[in-house]
């Protein structure tokens, strides 16, 4: 008969305390990952989807908007014709989704609604002009959109909204809480890769939506040297008599020589091998799209329903732009009724 173990072998686990099950530990880690460490609130997450039938260009715009909202959005959200707004609300709760971006295509112009889930409010915009990310890239000589820039949320920059009063004060609050908060004193510069600019034009009464990538370039370093340090590969020098010819070849001088002093900063910490705290770097913004010009036409107290807090007066259509009328917005409200639907048809 075996005797119970005693001595050193038994005393190993005395100071460890109770063992936490793996499932409980995973739930605790998941809950911690969903909390904003700055505000203490839940990290804002979003769904970008459409109501009604969209043409192919608006489908591409929808996918571009999903990329803008990365990483806290469903990039491959699949929608079915039978899905209604109630289905998205039911799925949003367990997943922690707090914001909806809803595209639609009524008779006049495309509409984009920004809404809080599940209580609202809802801000309805008329998209007067837009360009896809692919259109922006095709218009540039050296388009830059590396996949790594979507690992972190964009920095939201608001311009021109001061002194407007409601409903724009509520709109500013919505835009500010659409992405996780950033603490300038603790944020890592390497995580700041994108900027979402929302600028209000008081003369035209429209909001300009722009999406940029942030690029840092060391001042006084030629493009060839930067490429050499970034690629870590020996370039082809067969046609050159001396290594110095690779650096001093005409047409490849420093691009930083023409940098504006206002765009030159001293970094508080190292970002990469080229941009270090001991050097000055030039901040460059390159548009990656999409690009939109939007007009606020309606504000509702609830989720695509409720009291109308801000009705924009309908104006006569100009050229191809058309105008907004109550029939178009009312048609959308009818389609988005919160009646029960087929929740099982929607996949992420």
3-state secondary structure of 19: coil
Asked if 333 and 263 sit in the same domain, the reply is: no
Asked if 145 and 234 sit in the same domain, the reply is: no
Asked if 260 and 183 sit in the same domain, the reply is: no
Q: How confident is the model at residue 311 (pLDDT cuts 50, 70, 90)?
A: confident
Picking from 258, 228, 273, 219, the residue whose alpha carbon sits closest to that of residue 246 is: 228
Q: How confident is the model at residue 329 (pLDDT cuts 50, 70, 90)?
A: low
- Cα angle: 310, vertex 314, 318; to 5 degrees: 135
Asked if 305 and 193 sit in the same domain, the reply is: yes
Are the C-beta atoms of residues 274 and 221 closer than 8 Å to each other?
Answer: yes
For residue 10, being part of any structural domain is answered with no
For residue 38, being part of any structural domain is answered with no
The last residue of a domain, from among 282, 298, 319: 282
DSSP states along 57-124: HHHHHHHHHHHHTTTSB-TT-B--TT--HHHHHHHHHHHT--EEEEEE--SSS-EEEEEETTT--EEE
State the residue range of the domain holding 62: 46-213+290-345
Arithmetic mean of pLDDT over the chain = 78
The last residue of a domain, from among 282, 303, 326: 282
For residue 17, being part of any structural domain is answered with no
Q: How much of the chain, in percent, has pLDDT values that exceed 70? A: 61
For residue 9, being part of any structural domain is answered with no
Q: Residue 220: what pLDDT?
A: 64
Asked if 97 and 244 sit in the same domain, the reply is: no
Residues 62 and 134: their CA atoms lie apart, in Å, by 13
For residue 31, being part of any structural domain is answered with no
* Neighbour count for residue 37 (Cβ, 10 Å): 11
For residue 14, being part of any structural domain is answered with no
Asked if 139 and 177 sit in the same domain, the reply is: yes
CATH number at residue 163: 3.40.50.10480
Q: Which residue has the tokens 């609604």?
A: 113
Q: Which residue has the tokens 């929808």?
A: 62
- Structural domains in the chain (count): 2
Asked if 157 and 272 sit in the same domain, the reply is: no
Q: How confident is the model at residue 317 (pLDDT cuts 50, 70, 90)?
A: very low
Asked if 180 and 275 sit in the same domain, the reply is: no
pTM attached to this predicted model: 0.75
Asked if 113 and 236 sit in the same domain, the reply is: no
Asked if 206 and 227 sit in the same domain, the reply is: no
For residue 25, being part of any structural domain is answered with no
Model pLDDT for residues 62-78, shown as the tens digit of each residue: 999 999 999 999 999 98
Asked if 70 and 122 sit in the same domain, the reply is: yes
Asked if 143 and 71 sit in the same domain, the reply is: yes
């Amino acid at each position: 008969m075996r005797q119970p173990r005693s001595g050193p072998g038994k005393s190993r686990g005395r100071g460890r305390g109770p063992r936490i099950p793996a499932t409980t530990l995973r739930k605790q880690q998941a809950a911690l990952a969903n909390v904003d460490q700055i505000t203490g609130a839940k990290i804002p997450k979003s769904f970008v989807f459409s109501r009604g039938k969209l043409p192919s260009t608006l489908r591409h715009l929808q996918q571009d908007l999903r990329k803008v909202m990365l990483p806290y959005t469903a990039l491959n959200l699949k929608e079915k014709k039978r899905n209604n707004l109630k289905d998205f609300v039911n799925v949003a709760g367990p997943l922690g989704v707090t914001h909806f971006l809803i595209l639609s295509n009524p008779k006049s112009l495309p509409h984009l609604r920004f809404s809080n889930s599940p209580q609202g409010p809802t801000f309805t915009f008329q998209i007067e002009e837009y360009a896809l990310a692919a259109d922006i890239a095709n218009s540039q000589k050296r388009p830059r959109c590396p996949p790594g820039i979507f690992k972190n949320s964009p920095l939201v920059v608001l311009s021109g909204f001061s002194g407007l009063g409601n409903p724009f004060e509520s709109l500013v609050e919505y835009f500010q809480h659409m992405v996780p908060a950033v603490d300038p004193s603790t944020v890592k510069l390497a995580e700041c890769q994108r900027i979402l600019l929302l600028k209000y034009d008081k003369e035209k009464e429209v909001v300009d939506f722009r999406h940029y990538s942030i690029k840092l370039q060391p001042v006084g370093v030629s493009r060839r040297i930067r490429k050499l340090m970034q690629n870590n590969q020996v370039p082809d020098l067969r046609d050159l008599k001396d290594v110095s010819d690779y650096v001093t070849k005409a047409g490849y001088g420093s691009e930083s020589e023409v940098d504006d002093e206002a765009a030159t900063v001293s970094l508080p910490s190292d970002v990469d091998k080229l941009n270090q705290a001991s050097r000055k770097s030039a901040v460059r913004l390159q548009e990656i799209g999409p690009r939109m010009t939007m007009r606020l036409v309606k504000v509702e107290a609830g989720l695509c329903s409720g009291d109308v807090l801000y009705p924009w007066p309908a104006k006569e259509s100009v050229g191809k732009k058309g105008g907004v009328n109550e029939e178009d917005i009312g048609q959308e409200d009818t389609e988005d009724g919160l009646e029960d639907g087929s929740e099982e048809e929607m996949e992420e």
